A and B are shown apart, each in its own frame.
Chain A
């Protein structure tokens, strides 16, 4: 168990020393969102209808940006082979890395999302559902993304391939995340959508590390 938290702390320290990654992801999130008023026009009536979708989709794309480097640095300098030999099972190490990834990229997205929703004139009733939905959905994105990151280690054009593999698997999270906000805005119950997001997270926590660890094992052998 201590190995798990040591690995999380190691990844957090590496991410903080790097510094740039979380900031780049947030900058992309911000820029991609503000492109939409330029694209569809600044009328509040139009923007408020699509605000939830825009924030969620761009959060998804921003989360994708940092996934490629989840295992790549360790794979390239050989520490992945050393990690595979640790007594802590590889599945738990994947969980630790996904947790660190979420803390450095997912959580900042959740914090910034209400601000961006404000810029898009999201209806006041939707903010709670947006933040809750993203807080529940972004860990799933990190976990499922870890599968894609592990599968594309050392592949040609790994970054683009990663997006192709991972985006279809992100679609359920997107559907229920936006569904929660739409429900809250129209006065319906948001709980069913949030419960489904929780269900997706609870399914991802045991299953994603198994798949990612299998992929990592055949990447280092």
Chain B
């Protein structure tokens, strides 16, 4: 982590790693999509509509994972003053907000045929909606200051305050009676989902994760290049 703290070194490392990430992302997403749409079996109750799960569940898992990345980056930035940690957190936040939005919209589209409603105020949906607003608040706060360093620090504190929402999202389906289905993968006693559905789900989740990593590296490189351009302009 600290070996990559030097921006120039990070640029060299990311330039080397990025093509492989992008290629792996493309392969996994293509394989996952084919498996999800054509190979995986239809559900005995939901029929073909269960295939929304292969987008909805990875997006949901990414929404929480990216927030954890934002919080971790913020913690590292605050504690060790790592120069790239808060850049990583700030560039990851819009990606996380995007995944949360995909999760909410795909869930809504899935809920209409399955539950008969576009939305319900149960614990899981409400806490993911709160997560969406935490992302928006973080992005708004970081951009609200004329001094970017001040915005970065304030955003870092806010990200850490909002971490309390993550366990609430994960355990909401256990703590409250919810319409949303309870945990069937990451639970004590092992997954209850069929293997034929679990594998495409894992591949899609891995594809989404690598997609996030690729985009994050691209965004961070863009941010560092923009800073370099600004410095060159000021020096000229």
A interface list, Cβ under 8 A from B: 147, 151-152, 154-158, 161, 164-165, 167-169, 171, 211, 214-215, 218-219
Please indicate the chain B residues that have their CB under 8 angstroms from the CB of A157 in the complex.
144
B126 to chain A, nearest CB (A): 8
Residue pair A156, B146 in contact (C-beta under 8 Å): yes
CA distance A190 to B144 in the complex (A): 41
Check if A155 sits within 8 Å of B144, measured CB to CB. yes
The chain B residues found within 8 Å of chain A, CB to CB, are 78, 126, 130, 133-134, 136-137, 140-141, 144-146, 150, 153-154, 157-158, 160-162, 165
Contact partner of A214 (CB less than 8 A), chosen from B133, B145, B157, B165, is: B157
Complex CA gap A152/B160 in Å reads 15
A144 to B154, CA, bound (A): 15
Q: Find chain A residues with CB under 8 A from B146 CB.
A: 156
Is A147 within 8 A of B137, CB to CB?
no
Question: B residues within 8 A CB of A165?
Answer: 137, 140-141, 158
CB of B75, distance to nearest CB on chain A (Å): 12
24 A/B residue pairs, CB under 8 Å, sorted by A? A147-B157, A151-B154, A152-B144, A154-B145, A154-B150, A155-B141, A156-B144, A156-B146, A157-B144, A161-B140, A164-B136, A165-B137, A165-B140, A165-B158, A167-B133, A168-B134, A168-B162, A168-B165, A211-B160, A214-B157, A218-B150, A218-B153, A218-B154, A219-B150
Cα distance, A171 to B162, chains bound together (Å): 12
> Which chain A residues lie closer than 8 Å to B154 at the CB level?
151-152, 155, 215, 218-219
Residues of chain B within 8 A of A171, CB atoms compared: 126, 130
Partner of A211, one of B126, B150, B157: B157
Which 8 A-B pairs have CB atoms at the shortest separation, nearest pair first?
A155-B144, A218-B153, A165-B137, A168-B130, A168-B133, A151-B154, A164-B137, A215-B157
Taking A147-B157, A168-B134, A218-B154 as given, write out 17 further A-B residue pairs in contact, using a Cβ cutoff of 8 Å, ordered by the A residue number. Answer: A147-B161, A151-B154, A151-B157, A155-B141, A155-B145, A155-B154, A158-B144, A161-B140, A161-B144, A164-B133, A165-B158, A167-B133, A211-B157, A211-B160, A215-B154, A218-B150, A219-B154
- B residues near A219, Cβ cutoff 8 Å: 150, 154
- B137 CB to closest chain A CB, in angstroms? 5
Residues of A within 8 A of B158 (CB): 151, 165
Q: In the assembly, what is the distance between CA of A167 and CA of B137, in Å? A: 10
Complex Cα–Cα for A31 and B218 (A): 51
Please name all residues of chain B whose beta carbon is closer than 8 Å to the beta carbon of A211 when the two chains form the complex: 157, 160-161
Residues in B neighbouring A161, C-beta threshold 8 A = 137, 140-141, 144
